[in-house]
Amino acid sequence: MPADDAIRDARPRAAATLPSRAEDFPRWYQEVVARAELAENGPVRGTMVIRPWGYEIWERLQAAIDERIKAAGAHNAYFPLFIPEALMRLEAEHVEGFDPELWVVTHGGGRKLEEPVVVRPTSETVINHFFAKWVQSHRDLPLIVNQWCNVVRWELRPRLFLRTTEFLWQEGHTAHVDEADARAFALRILTDVYRDAMEEVAAVPVLIGHKTARERFAGAVRTWTCEAMMGDGKALQMGTSHELGVNFSKPFGIQYADAAGSLRYVWQTSWGASTRLIGALIMAHGDDFGLRLPPALAPVEVVVLCVREDDQVHRVASQLAEDLRRAGRRVHLDDRTDTGFGRRSVDWELKGVPVRVEVGPRDLARGEVTLVTRHTRTKEPVALGAVAGAVERICRGAAAELRAEALAFREGRTASVTSLAEVAEPGATGFARIPWRAVGEHGELELAAGALSVRCLQRADGGLAAPGEPDDALVAVVGRSY
RNA sequence: CGGGCUGUGGCGCAGUUUGGUUAGCGCGCUGCGUUCGGGACGCAGAGGUCCCCGGUUCAAAUCCGGGCAGCCCGACCA
């Protein structure tokens, strides 16, 4: 929109403009979070206040994930925030992994507690404590429980949504009769819940694979992951699904009697996705003008904007808003007269509303309105009678276009290489794909020294490793990460 | 935890080197008016423990000592 830019640039606006993504991505991110009124820092370091606009996005993400989790057979439940320290210590690797991140409550009721209480960093331990009671027979399996809650982890360098001391998430926990069943379920969650929600709802294309031993969840046998590329080329983990084997069922004593009457340990999984996804949404789709939301997640899909105070304008705008609402869209009528049109347009643009319907006297004189598509920033005149159809067209197409754009971006910044020495260059701006056997555990250390890491291991065609398939046959996706 | 930097109205900053009247500026906020097709303008206002404690001095945002907090960079993480 060169014409628009010329107009913008002619106005005094320096203080109001976002920093450009290319120049300073982290600052751009912070500004978008602040100016789109998504969140701000809480009074305790690392904590986050999620503001209504951000929370409504979260509610929509939540709904998308919840619906899919339930389709996979899960039921929601709730377990306590406080975990006895002794329970937390039952699984050796798990404690060791989480120890440096724990918040421990030592006092209550004005007195020192007999036994310190841990604030949950994740709930494997409490939940499995109860699984041990609930599971008796093979008829009790699979047991599939999910909870939506907050968790708390000590963080050295917090960043809103991406890494906060307290965050909101969903954690699923399951128990199965055998390894194959557990694995199948972990993969189902990975693909049918996380990948599907990320790609279809959030319009963020993801790579799927499993983590190396170094990056694996503390206590897991295998960690499966969805990884996406952000607008600065860095990777962000969008959701993880863990195969826990019998690592927890043994120390927690979760056993069932099989059909023959012999006692067996359950095979387990756990999986989670958090408010970090909001950060992903911002960084995967945002542009120099702010947020770009896929309609399914936008608190408001269409804003009908009265260009100026005028009876006819107001009448038509109200009618259009009502029509669009009846057509099932989430619509906001912006008929404020105390704020200039330019300011209002820019505000909605910052907040990422997918479609703007601008109604002004000049449009009406021609029997039209102006439609603006947020993700392309294109304007088009549309006859009054054709508005509903045009809005539907934009809303239905937006997610696919955002996804295609993100995918093209990722592909453009991904290079395949064959040796460790060649990883640094593509890794600095995006992803390098390299045979895992050319990296190995030693190579991983070397990568870490260059601020790079293996995001996941997958087949050359992007598929998941089959059971028993050796890592040596797989490709490592290497990049910088959040 | 090691290294670098910064604490001044809601936000972003200047002023500190070389102490000196009433602590400024931009954005934001309130009121009135003119505006309104891409972050409008004028006028009038409100808003401050200059991070905290102590010291030096006739006088401290400014100098000295001690504390606290935050940011950035390095080792961990959804």
Q: In this structure, are residues A270 and A185 in contact, taking their beta carbons and an 8 Å threshold?
A: no
A312 touches strand B (CB under 7 A): no
Tell whether A226 and A315 lie within a shared domain: no
Which secondary structure element, helix H or strand E, spans residue A150, and what is its range?
Answer: strand A143-152
A14 within domain boundaries: no
Q: In this structure, are residues A359 and A307 in contact, taking their beta carbons and an 8 Å threshold?
A: yes
Structural domain range at position A358: 295-398
The structure tokens listed for A78 are 């709730």
Give the CA A107 to C1' B69 distance in Å.
25
Give the CA A372 to C1' B47 distance in Å.
39
Give the CA A160 to C1' B48 distance in Å.
29
Tell whether A236 and A347 lie within a shared domain: no
A156 touches strand B (CB under 7 A): yes
A244 touches strand B (CB under 7 A): no
List of A residues 120-139 with CB within 7 A of strand B: none
Measured CA distances, A132 to A123, A231, A245, A399 (Å): 14, 45, 15, 43
Tell whether A383 and A429 lie within a shared domain: no
Say if residue A107's pLDDT is above 90.
no
Tell whether A115 and A69 lie within a shared domain: yes
State the CATH number of the domain containing residue A473: 3.30.110
pLDDT in tens, A12-69: 333 457 888 887 888 888 889 988 999 988 878 888 889 999 999 999 999 999 999 9
Tell whether A222 and A175 lie within a shared domain: yes
Tell whether A301 and A275 lie within a shared domain: no
User: Which of A13-22, A85-94, A136-145, A366-375 is predicted with the least confidence, judged by mean pLDDT?
Assistant: A13-22
A307 touches strand B (CB under 7 A): yes
* 3-class SS shares of chain A: helix, strand, coil, % to 5: 40, 30, 30
Say if residue A145's pLDDT is above 80.
yes
pLDDT in tens, A314-349: 999 999 999 999 999 999 999 998 899 999 999 999
A222 phi, psi to nearest 5 deg: -150, 135
Nucleotides in chain B with any atom closer than 7 Å to protein CB: 1, 26-28, 35-41, 69-78
State the CATH number of the domain containing residue A260: 3.30.930.10
Domain end, chosen from A334, A364, A398, is at A398
pLDDT in tens, A273-299: 999 999 999 999 999 999 999 999 999
pLDDT in tens, A115-133: 999 999 999 999 999 999 9
State the CATH number of the domain containing residue A308: 3.40.50.800
Q: In this structure, are residues A106 and A37 in contact, taking their beta carbons and an 8 Å threshold?
A: no
Under 8 Å CB-to-CB from A131, ≥6 apart: which residues? A143, A173, A175, A249, A252, A254, A266
Measured CA distances, A257 to A125, A131, A149, A173, A179 (Å): 22, 14, 32, 20, 16
A26 within domain boundaries: no
Tell whether A389 and A434 lie within a shared domain: no
The whole-number pLDDT of residue A6 equals: 30
A47 touches strand B (CB under 7 A): no
Number of domains chain A contains:
3
Tell whether A80 and A45 lie within a shared domain: yes
Domain end, chosen from A285, A307, A337, is at A285
A213 touches strand B (CB under 7 A): no
A232 touches strand B (CB under 7 A): no
* ipTM reported for the complex, 2 dp: 0.86
Domain end, chosen from A285, A310, A343, is at A285
A289 touches strand B (CB under 7 A): yes
A331 touches strand B (CB under 7 A): no
> Whole-number mean pLDDT of chain A?
92
Render A156-202 in DSSP notation, one character per residue: SS-BTTTB-SEEEEEEEEEEESSHHHHHHHHHHIIIIIIIHIIIIIS
